[in-house]
Structure 1
Amino acid sequence: MTPKILIIDDEKHMCWALERAMKQEGYQVLTANNGPDGLELLKQEGPSLVILDLRMPGMDGMEVLKCIKEIQPKLPVIILTAHGTIDSAIEAMKNGAIDYLTKPFDLDELKIVIKNALLLNQLATEVTFLRSELTKNYSIMIGKSPTIVEINQLIERVATTNATVLITGESGTGKEVAAVSIHQASPRCDNPFVTVNCAALPEQLLESELFGHEKGAFTGAITKKLGRFELAHKGTIFLDEIGDMPLSMQVKLLRVLQEKSFERVGGTETHKIDVRVIAATNRELTEAIRKGLFREDLYYRLNVIHIQLPPLRERKEDIPLLAEHFLEKLSHIYRVKKISSDAMEMICTYNWPGNIRELQNVIERAAIICEDEEILPFHLPPELQKPSKTVIGTVVRFPDEGISLEEVEKQLIMKALEKSKGNQTKAAQLLNITRSALLYRTQKYGISLMY
């Protein structure tokens, strides 16, 4: 689409000269000789850029600029004037002008300014579009189970605030999806969503990644680098795998959360930031605190709002919805259009130790190897086609044999802990309950966790 330029200048000869020059560059051109006419054209025609004279009778350029920014905040505006002063230039830039040229000006310079402004505006539009494309599928957590419905309601309530959120759950349960959902439903949705995997980088690199560094801060720092907190200004930063952050970094993160400021590595200047923090982990942070691996004060600072995501095996009714969702995303790439009832039954009865991530991989694998439009049982991995094995031997005896229901449950828990060598998460998986439910029952029955 050919860019459309609106020229607002009370000098008719200036309008004529600029219109001629802009048309030679291939632009569409609109002209107005006063502010009100220019604003009317702006509303009717939707130009790509405005060239605006600062000094005009009646409604002056500064007034027009403010009105333009109210109507179309991101529209680039270039100010022209024969009465340029430093103060007026500063005021124009504060009010949203992208550049300021004094008459008489170099026409070639104006052409370059216009070209750069249009390019930057186009890139900004593309970035906004791509960001919305990347996150539009995360508007809500998919599911109809009571737990997921409750989580979606909590996300809606939390999103409108700036409260720090801690998302916990097993690996693959959708913690990043929940974080993006919060960001997308928040007033910060048009600003950056920046992700940091705290477990993926060594301590020295993690500090530079989070806070940036100055040139010469360390060997290899040949230029200044902005950190993720700076890049997330006015938006949201998602600190994934926060439970794996080194203790020394936890101290620095705590200061950022408390003071909303930081210094780059090798720098002395304090930078203020406006960032919403969402953290996630699959670790039991209370256990890490007990072992001295995680700071208790940081935990309470992060845990303002807590969202616990359930494993997929505890929300079986959501499996068909998720499977269909992943299939729909793949339908424009592969021929496959549906999942047979037998295949869906296998998918629903499987235990999904890898949670939603494993389900997504299974659906994609089946779509790749399926040569028809329907996924059948033999397209699924072997582990889904085998009936589930009972992991723990039967210990049930009837009441007339002298054993109560509580004793049966106690024996099952003890066997699960023995089989998992004391690993509480694995024991909970064997019993098909959450870890917190396991801990509650061990306390109830006085079962030692030392195996």
Structure 2
Amino acid sequence: MPGSPLFVPPRQAPAATAMILTQLGGIANLHLFSPSADKEGDRFSSCDWTPGASCDRFRSRCPNRGIRKMPRSRILFFDDDPAILDMLHAYFRDEFDVLTACDVVEAQRILDEQDPEVIVSDKRMPGIDGIDFLVEDMRRRPDRIRIMLTGITDRETILDTINRAHVWAFFEKPIEPSRLRQWRIILRNALEVVELRKEVRRLRAEAKIRSEEDYAAARLERMGIHEAVERVAGIDRLDIVLQGETGTGKNLVARAIHHLSPRRDRPFRTLFVPNLPKELIEAELFGYKAGSFTGAARDRKGAIEMVEGGTLFLDEITEIPPPLQVKLLRFLQEKAFETIGSSRTKRADVRIIAATNRDLPAAVAEGSFRKDLYYRLGHTIVIPPLRDRPEELPELIDHFFVKHRSLNERVTRISDAGWRALLEYEWPGNIRELDRRIRDAFIHARRDALHPVDLFPDRPLPAVAEPTLRELKARFEREVVRERLLRHRGNRKETARSLGITYEGLYKILKKHEIS
């Protein structure tokens, strides 16, 4: 907009594109019309475009490709005039990776394949409105810088473009050579904004990771298993079993082991076995070849192959059928397996962390879990239930309150009765139940605080004895006398006078209610 450092002010200086190319002189001749002027290592090869050439010919003779010396910022110029694209390419190619398109199909292809940081688009083009094109791009890639190339200076149109497409700046037509220097500065500023946005995203991601790691470390400390987790995480070849009730945080412990291990930069994947039909567990673990069973239309890798070099977390491992336990045992011993429908042996370097809410020795004794697999799985970490670590409850309640606060902005706190109800509850569903109850309480709460009725709607409210009329009168008398005493700063004579009773009458009331 006018007054903004990003707004290029209108000038009444029309000039034909050919004249601009002539004024640019050496740049145009050197980089556009003289194939012999190309030097080895240039980003783009020169072209022999001539005035009047069609858009198709321009695109075919000046492709957006070349030998890349070093990564440079990509800018897409989208205009239906090949001469303007040629000129812009010539002027900016020394500093930026200049991409050009003169129809919407080519522009969309470049956006999909090259993902430029900046788009400079003409407003009026055959078959498409430039504003609509930028609006659609904004929906797909909100953080891209969009600049409008236009001869329109109408205030309403400019405001509409800014609001709809989040246009960052305007370049005005007709183009004059003197303006190109200003455009270069604006493009540099735009690319600085792009880099700053990337840095902000990176820092936020790092802060989130650090926050999650700090939270996990604090949780492990309160569980009393922090040292055990750190010890086994560093033993890279040791497979681990996590044993604990449903909802105790086995997934958190598994992720902590992965992030503390030498495999932290490799994939981590969870396979929740009870969610899978028994006949498909093997396919999910080891993969399959096309045609190996009904519905196997193409080859598919299994979870083990997908996390090569990383960690696979098998949640509720006791749900794996005994015949498949034999194949899992072989993988643990030899790190070798075969996909379904293939006889070729594959190998994978994958650490297995298994979890169960059952007593594994009891499962072995009853025959539902193989004894050799139990012994091969390695070290077992027992995770205590939430009722055995009440000191962790306040921090967990605060954590889930903050996590779900956006569900109901009216709620600002948990009432005293709500806190008592949360701290006194046994939590048979452990952390998962605590998370769900606080989430649901936010959804259903109608006041500014979470009360027991919000947190435990499925529990009957405790019976409350209703006070008698005599008790209500006594309570009222006591509160009124206390309030008057405070108002008169403990002066009993003034208090008795304000209440319309004698000093002796006030003394009897104070004694009856034990008011000092």
Q: TM-score range by the shorter chain?
A: 0.5 to 0.7
1:13 equivalent in alignment to 2:39: yes
Classify 1:141/1:285 alpha carbon distance in 2 versus 1 (closer, same or farther; 3 Å).
farther
Residue 194 and residue 367 in structure 1: after superposition, are their counterparts in 2 closer, same or farther (change >3 A)?
same
Q: What is the match of residue 407 of structure 2?
A: 333
CA 1:270 to 1:383, structure 2 compared with 1: closer, same or farther past 3 Å? same
1:281/1:149 CA distance change after superposition, 3 Å: closer
1:247 shift after superposition = 0.6
Partner of residue 309 from structure 2, selected from 230, 234, 240 = 234
Using a 3 Å threshold, how does the CA distance of structure 1 residues 289 and 271 change in structure 2: closer, same or farther? same
Query: Does residue 315 of the first structure (1) align with residue 389 of the second (2)?
Result: yes
Residues 117 and 146 of structure 1: CA distance in aligned 2, closer, same or farther (over 3 Å) = closer
Q: In the alignment, does 2:250 pair up with 1:175?
A: yes
Q: CA deviation at 1:255?
A: 0.3
User: How far, CA to CA, are the matches of 2:285 and 2:385 in structure 1?
Assistant: 30
Residues 387-425 of structure 1, C-alpha deviations (whole Å, 9 max, x = no match): 69xxxxxxxxxxxxxxxxxxxxxxxxxxxxxxxxxxxxx
Determine what percentage of the aligned residue pairs are the same residue. 37
Distance 1:256 1:174 in 2: 26
Q: 1:194 is aligned with what amino acid?
A: R
Distance 1:342 1:189, change over 3 A: same
Residues 135, 207 of structure 1: alpha-carbon distance in 2 compared, 3 angstrom cutoff: farther
Aligned in 2, Cα 1:15/1:143: closer, same or farther, shift over 3 Å?
Answer: closer
SS of 2:380's equivalent in the other structure is strand
Partner of 1:219: 294
Q: CA deviation at 1:184?
A: 2.3
Alpha-carbon distance in structure 2 between the residues aligned to 1:250 and 1:199: 15
Cα distance between partner residues in 1 of 2:275 and 2:415: 39
Inter-partner Cα distance in structure 2 for 1:332 and 1:223: 43
Larger radius of gyration between Structure 1 and Structure 2: 2
**What is the CA distance between 1:132 and its match in structure 2?**
8.4
Provide the residue aligned with 1:299 in structure 2.
374
Residues 147-296 of structure 1: matches in 2 within 5 Å? 148=222, 150-162=224-236, 163-296=238-371
User: Distance between the aligned counterparts of 2:327 and 2:205, measured in 1?
Assistant: 30
The total of aligned residue pairs comes to: 297
**CA–CA distance in structure 1, aligned partners of residues 372 and 405 of structure 2:** 47
Measured at CA, do residues 376 and 258 of structure 1 come closer, stay the same or move farther in structure 2, by a change above 3 Å? same
> Which residue is equivalent to 2:507?
none
Residues in 2 aligned to 1:278 and 1:148: alpha-carbon distance in whole angstroms: 21
**Deviation digits for residues 352-383 of structure 1, max 9, x if unmatched?**
11111111111001111223443223322145
TM-score with structure 1 setting the length: 0.57
CA 278–141 in structure 1, closer or farther in 2 if over 3 Å, else same: farther
Partners of 1:48 and 1:174 in 2: how far apart?
A: 44
Task: Report the Cα distance in structure 2 between the residues aligned to 1:264 and 1:134, rounded to whole angstroms.
Answer: 38
The 1:281–1:31 alpha-carbon spacing in structure 2 relative to 1, beyond 3 Å, is closer
Alignment correspondent of 1:359: 434
Q: How much has 1:295 moved relative to structure 2? A: 0.8
The superposition leaves residues 230-275 of structure 1 with CA deviations (integer Å, 9 ceiling, x where unpaired) of 1111111010111121110110000000111111001011111011
Report the AA paired with residue 16 of structure 1.
Answer: D
SS at match of 1:239: strand
Alignment-derived partner of residue 446 in structure 1: none
CA displacement 1:199-222 (0-9 Å, x = unmatched):
222332111110000111112211
SS in 1 for 2:258: helix
The one-letter code of the counterpart of 1:13 is: K
Q: Which amino acid aligns with 1:219?
A: T
- Residue by residue over 1:67-126, the C-alpha shift from the partner in whole angstroms, topping out at 9 and shown as x without a partner, is xxxxxxxxxxxxxxxxxxxxxxxxxxxxxxxxxxxxxxxxxxxxx99975769xxx9x9x
- Seen in structure 2, the aligned counterparts of structure 1 residues 190 and 222 have a Cα distance that, compared at 3 Å, is same
Quickly say closer, same or farther: Cα 1:384–1:321, change in 2 above 3 A: farther
Q: CA deviation at 1:26?
A: 8.6
How far did 1:323 drift?
A: 1.0
Separation in 2 of the partners of 1:367 and 1:144?
25
Structure 1 pair 225–340 and aligned structure 2 pair: CA distance change class (3 A): same
Residue 17 and residue 200 in structure 1: after superposition, are their counterparts in 2 closer, same or farther (change >3 A)? closer
Q: Tell me if structure 2 keeps the 8 A contact 1:212–1:226.
A: yes
Amino acid at match of 2:256: S
After superposition, the C-alpha distances for 1:272-291 in whole angstroms (9 at most, x for unaligned) are 10111100000111011111
C-alpha change, 1:340 and 1:180, in structure 2 (3 Å) is same
Q: 1:330 corresponds to which letter in structure 2?
A: H
What does the per-residue CA deviation read over 1:290-343, in whole Å, with 9 as the maximum and x for residues that have no partner?
Answer: 1111111111111x2221111111111111111110111112332133322321
3-state secondary structure, aligned to 2:275: coil
Structure 2 CA distance for aligned equivalents of residues 235 and 245 of structure 1: 21
* Equivalent-residue separation in structure 2 for 1:129 and 1:300 (angstroms): 44
| Distance in 2 between residues matched to 1:118 and 1:353, nearest whole Å | 50
The CA distance in 2 between the partners of 1:17 and 1:141, in whole Å, is 48
- 8 Å CA contact 2:427, 2:434 repeated in 1: yes
Post-superposition offset of 1:141: 6.2
Q: CA deviation at 1:228?
A: 0.6
Q: Determine helix, strand or coil for the equivalent of 2:381.
A: strand
Determine if contact 2:254/2:353 at 8 Å carries over to the other structure: yes
Unpaired segments ≥5 residues, structure 1: 1-10, 33-41, 50-111, 389-451
Contact 1:172 1:356 in 2 (8 A): yes
Distance 1:137 1:220, change over 3 A: farther
Please tell me whether the aligned partners of residues 179 and 278 of structure 1 are also in contact (alpha carbons under 8 angstroms).
yes
SS of 1:199's equivalent?
helix
Q: How does 1:24-173 map to 2 (within 5 A)?
A: 47=72, 116=113, 138-139=212-213, 148=222, 150-162=224-236, 163-173=238-248
The Cα of 1:18 is off from its aligned counterpart by 1.9
- Alignment CA distance shift 1:155-1:338 (3 Å): farther
* Whole-angstrom CA distance in 2 between matches of 1:313 and 1:277: 29
Return the alpha-carbon distance in structure 2 between the equivalents of residues 114 and 221 of structure 1. 34
How far is 1:164 from its partner?
A: 0.9
Label 1:250 to 1:164 Cα distance change in 2 as closer, same or farther (>3 A): same
